[in-house]
């Protein structure tokens, strides 16, 4: 049985991001004291991309009466414009629901997580705040790569996992086969697997009952001093910094003061509430419950995700900090520059506020002779980078230029004098320009990744060929069922961040799925590839490549550069070089000029030759002192990863 709440005003849903004026207005209050820890359940939904997480969240909100039933209830928790446009979840969102079972009202706190590998950090930090998770599997597609990865994350977090089969109403649903896959990989018996149709609502009431019965309540001491974990934060231009917390012990109400363990600063609560599913103010939050807090934060940098907040009654030396997800190390680095340098300060502010909402991004200042002042940003993947830049545009109206993505390398310096100069024997290089001279480098190391591919058996040969062409090393093969194979390869990370997934989908007719995780650094052979224009190194196009890829990469860049640089008044030489060795060369011919046009026909030929020789000398001198004007569009076409 579900409990329905009457709303005095209809909840207004729009496509605005969180930094816009709230679309939900206060229409009712919830007495949080009615929900002791025994009647609270905190859970997340984890799955491979496009397996129906957001749709299931919509049905859960409907069946609990949190939102009214409407055909407009699609992606209710996907509040970002980029999420609605792309149809994917990129930011974990929470919502509280009240559900009546056996005469008791239960508070269910749901966290809807992303499914793409690039946003795995969102999943990790969400699971820290939960005692259980719904592992959602599409009955039409079966178990896929990110399903396995998310199961491992939840299993290592030691939380209760509920296997749920979705889309059972589809014509091509393979219910029995998918249950067999779940049993083979995760060990769940068919009778333990719940079966639902998130779109039609079939099986959702049974799922709600199972959540209460099989997920344990949170542990916490209501009588102890206040302690809470900060799990999310965002910026609102009307109200400033807003944080999302899970209360471990004690309680918190308006006017209370708490201390940040990381900054040691004290903050006063101005507003407190729950996401129901919009921001709904309440009087107080108690142990085991989660909600948002608006306090006296003066700057975005004062809110750290994973921070332990505590009462003044707890002395810092006696504080037991709450466990949190380790901050993910970025795998892909790129330079981000404003298209208009006069808007540099605006872009700085936009990046700071967006990083507050996505603290898996690493930021450092960088300058570029061609593009001006900018930032070197570290991301968890190419999609993460693409979404971040799109959010800059949509939420802050910041148009940016993004350089070619690269990974982080390590080099071992030889010679005591050189080690003293660099300050360390082992250097981490995120920018190709910073790679030391090969004469002082003893060893190079590149990041490696363990890749998991699940593919129909009929495409196995093509998949293996693709992996080998990307310098992959096969580690294991496992038959999930008679038609599906799970294969693991070890890859250099640089080989799979660009276009690998697209090629995999192409050769497998869209059926294969891919997931990876970083496994550390291994010894390799690297070189710095320089693009030289008229004997001048163009640092903006410098890349670190594996020695076996240098010639192929250099020729491709030279050809693309030749296509996009306009002709000059003099000839231009384009070269790809490693050290002093030229790997590829193309010449851009000079604009032709008829220097003898003014001479009448039949005139002396020596005069014509004199004019031609003078023009050639002028070209030669111009080439020596001239600066090639390379349009910004040409840089982008060369640097950008185009399909």
In this prediction, residue 8 carries a pLDDT of 33
- CATH architecture designation of domain 332-402: 2-Layer Sandwich (3.30)
| 105 annotated binding-site participant | no
Phi and psi dihedrals of 569, rounded to 5?
Answer: -75, -5
Which range has the worst mean pLDDT, 221-230, 548-557, 615-624? Answer: 615-624
Q: Which helix (H) or strand (E) holds 230?
A: strand 227-236
Share of the chain above pLDDT 70, in %: 88
- Residue 279 in tokens: 């921001």
The answer to whether 471 and 552 are in contact (CB under 8 A) is no
Alpha helices by DSSP H, 310-431: 344-357, 382-396, 416-422
The CATH superfamily holding the domain 32-214 is P-loop containing nucleotide triphosphate hydrolases (3.40.50.300)
Written in H, E and C, the secondary structure of 90-120 is CCCEEEEEEEEECCEEEEEEEEECCCCHHHH
Residue 152 has pLDDT above 90, yes or no: no
| 50 annotated binding-site participant | yes
The 10s digit of each residue's pLDDT in 263-307 is: 889 999 999 999 888 888 999 999 999 999 999 887 777 888 888
| 132 annotated binding-site participant | no
The 10s digit of each residue's pLDDT in 571-583 is: 788 899 998 899 9
DSSP 476-533: EEEEEETTEEEEEEEEEHHHHSSSHHHHHHHHTTT--EEEEEEEEEEEE-EEEEEEEE
CATH number of the structural domain 527-639: 3.30.70.2570
In this prediction, residue 639 carries a pLDDT of 57
| 220 annotated binding-site participant | no
CB-facing half-sphere around the CA of 443: CA atoms within 13 A: 9
In this prediction, residue 622 carries a pLDDT of 43
Q: Which helix (H) or strand (E) holds 179?
A: helix 175-186
d(CA 435, CA 527): 9
| 113 annotated binding-site participant | yes
The answer to whether 583 and 577 are in contact (CB under 8 A) is yes
| 515 annotated binding-site participant | no
- Residue 156 in tokens: 């290592």
Q: Which helix (H) or strand (E) holds 56?
A: helix 53-63
Give per-residue burial for 276-291: e unless 16+ CB within 10 Å, then b. bbbbbbbebbbbbbbb
| 54 annotated binding-site participant | yes
| 537 annotated binding-site participant | no
**Alpha-carbon distances, residue 358 vs 130, 423, 577 (angstroms):** 20, 32, 38
Domain boundaries, the chain: 32-214, 227-318, 332-402, 409-524, 527-639
Three-state DSSP at 154 gives helix
Q: Which helix (H) or strand (E) holds 211?
A: helix 204-214
Averaged pLDDT of the chain: 82
The pLDDT-based confidence of 479 (bands split at 50, 70, 90) is confident
Decide if 32-214 and 332-402 have a common fold.
no
| 116 annotated binding-site participant | yes
In this prediction, residue 597 carries a pLDDT of 60
Q: Quick check: bond before 182 cis, omega within 30?
A: no
Q: 227-318 domain in CATH 2.40.30.10?
A: yes
Residue 26 has pLDDT above 60, yes or no: no
d(CA 566, CA 324): 53
Residue 204 has pLDDT above 50, yes or no: yes
DSSP state of 219: P
The 10s digit of each residue's pLDDT in 126-147 is: 888 899 999 999 998 888 888 8
On the 0-12 / 13-18 / 19+ scale of CB atoms within 10 A, 251 is buried
Residue 565 has pLDDT above 90, yes or no: no
* Average pLDDT, integer, range 31-58: 89
| 49 annotated binding-site participant | yes
**Residue among 568, 621, 574 at smallest CA distance from 590:** 568
The answer to whether 83 and 89 are in contact (CB under 8 A) is yes
**pTM score:** 0.74
In this prediction, residue 27 carries a pLDDT of 43
In this prediction, residue 5 carries a pLDDT of 39
The pLDDT-based confidence of 211 (bands split at 50, 70, 90) is very high
| 115 annotated binding-site participant | yes
Q: Could you say which of 3.40.50.2300, 3.30.465.10, 3.40.50.720, 3.30.70.240 is the CATH number of the domain covering 409-524?
A: 3.30.70.240
Q: Which helix (H) or strand (E) holds 132?
A: strand 132-138
The answer to whether 29 and 281 are in contact (CB under 8 A) is yes
Phi and psi dihedrals of 229, rounded to 5?
Answer: -105, 130
Spatial neighbors of 225 by CB under 8 A, at least 6 apart, are 249, 250, 310, 311, 313, 314
| 104 annotated binding-site participant | no
**Cβ-defined contacts of 27-34 (< 8 Å, 24+):** 28/280, 29/280, 29/281, 29/282, 29/283, 30/96, 30/98, 30/274, 30/276, 30/280, 30/282, 31/282, 31/283, 32/107, 32/274, 32/282, 32/283, 32/284, 32/285, 32/286, 32/289, 33/284, 33/286, 34/105
The 10s digit of each residue's pLDDT in 161-202 is: 999 999 998 888 889 999 999 998 898 998 999 999 988 889
Which range has the worst mean pLDDT, 170-184, 377-391, 600-614? Answer: 600-614
d(CA 93, CA 89): 9
The answer to whether 478 and 185 are in contact (CB under 8 A) is no
Q: Which helix (H) or strand (E) holds 183?
A: helix 175-186
Residue 86 has pLDDT above 80, yes or no: no
d(CA 314, CA 328): 30
| 52 annotated binding-site participant | yes
**Residue among 238, 231, 305, 225 at smallest CA distance from 275:** 231
d(CA 636, CA 643): 13
DSSP state of 300: G
């Amino acid at each position: 049985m579900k409990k329905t709440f009457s709303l005095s005003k209809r909840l207004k849903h729009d496509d605005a991001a969180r930094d816009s004026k709230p679309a939900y207005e206060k229409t009712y209050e919830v007495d949080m004291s009615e929900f002791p820890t025994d009647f609270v359940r905190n859970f997340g939904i984890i799955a491979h991309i496009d397996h129906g997480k957001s749709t299931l969240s919509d049905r859960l909100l409907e069946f609990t009466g949190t939102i009214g039933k409407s055909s407009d209830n699609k992606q209710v928790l996907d509040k970002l414009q980029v999420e609605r446009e792309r149809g994917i979840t990129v930011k974990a969102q929470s919502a509280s629901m009240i559900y009546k079972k056996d005469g008791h009202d239960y508070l269910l706190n749901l966290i809807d997580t992303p499914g793409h590998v690039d946003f795995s950090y969102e999943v990790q930090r969400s699971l820290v705040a939960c005692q259980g998770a719904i592992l959602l599997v599409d009955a039409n597609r079966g178990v896929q790569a990110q399903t396995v990865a998310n199961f491992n994350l939840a299993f290592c977090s030691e939380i209760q996992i509920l296997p749920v089969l979705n889309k059972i109403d589809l014509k091509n649903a393979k219910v029995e086969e998918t249950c067999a896959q779940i049993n083979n990989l995760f060990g769940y018996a068919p009778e333990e697997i719940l079966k639902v149709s998130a779109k039609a609502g079939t099986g959702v009431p049974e799922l709600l009952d199972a959540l209460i019965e099989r997920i344990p309540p949170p542990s916490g001491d209501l009588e102890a001093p206040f302690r809470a974990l900060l799990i999310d934060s965002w910026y609102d231009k009307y109200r400033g910094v807003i944080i999302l917390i899970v209360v471990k012990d004690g309680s918190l109400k308006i006017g209370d003061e708490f201390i940040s363990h990381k900054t040691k600063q004290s903050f006063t609560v101005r507003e407190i509430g729950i996401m129901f599913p919009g921001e709904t103010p309440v009087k107080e939050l108690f142990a085991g419950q989660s909600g948002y807090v608006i306090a006296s934060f003066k700057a975005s940098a004062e809110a750290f995700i994973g921070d332990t907040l505590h009462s003044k009654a707890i002395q810092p030396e006696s504080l037991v900090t709450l466990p949190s997800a380790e901050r993910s190390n970025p795998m892909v680095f790129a330079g981000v520059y404003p298209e208009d340098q006069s808007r540099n300060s605006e872009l700085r502010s936009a990046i700071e506020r967006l990083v507050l909402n996505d603290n898996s991004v690493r930021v450092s200042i960088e300058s570029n002779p061609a593009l001006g002042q900018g930032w070197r940003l570290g991301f968890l993947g190419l999609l993460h980078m693409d979404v971040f830049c799109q959010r800059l545009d949509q939420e802050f109206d910041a148009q940016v230029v993004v350089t070619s993505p690269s990974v982080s390398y390590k080099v071992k310096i030889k010679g005591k004098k050189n080690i003293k100069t660099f300050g360390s024997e082992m250097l981490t290089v995120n920018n190709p320009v910073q790679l030391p001279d090969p004469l002082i480098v003893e060893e190079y190391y590149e990041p490696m990744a363990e890749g998991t591919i699940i593919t129909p058996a009929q495409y196995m040969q093509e998949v293996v060929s693709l992996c080998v062409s990307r310098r992959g090393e096969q580690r294991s093969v496992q038959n999930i069922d008679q038609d599906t194979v799970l294969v693991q390869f070890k890859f250099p990370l640089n080989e799979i961040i660009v276009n690998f997934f697209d090629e995999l989908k192409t050769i497998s007719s869209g059926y294969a799925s891919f997931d990876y995780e970083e496994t550390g650094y291994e010894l390799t052979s690297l070189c710095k590839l320089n693009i030289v224009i008229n004997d001048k190194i163009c640092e903006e196009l410098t890349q670190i490549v594996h020695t076996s890829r240098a010639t192929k990469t250099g020729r491709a860049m030279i050809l693309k550069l030749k296509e996009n640089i306009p002709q000059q008044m003099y000839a231009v030489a384009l070269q790809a070089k490693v050290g002093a060795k030229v790997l590829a060369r193309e010449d851009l011919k000079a604009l032709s000029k008829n220097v003898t046009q003014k001479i009448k026909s039949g005139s002396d030929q020596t005069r014509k030759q004199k004019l031609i020789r003078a023009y050639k000398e002028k070209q030669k001198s111009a080439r020596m002192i001239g600066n090639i004007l390379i349009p910004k569009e040409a840089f982008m076409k060369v640097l950008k990863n185009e399909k």
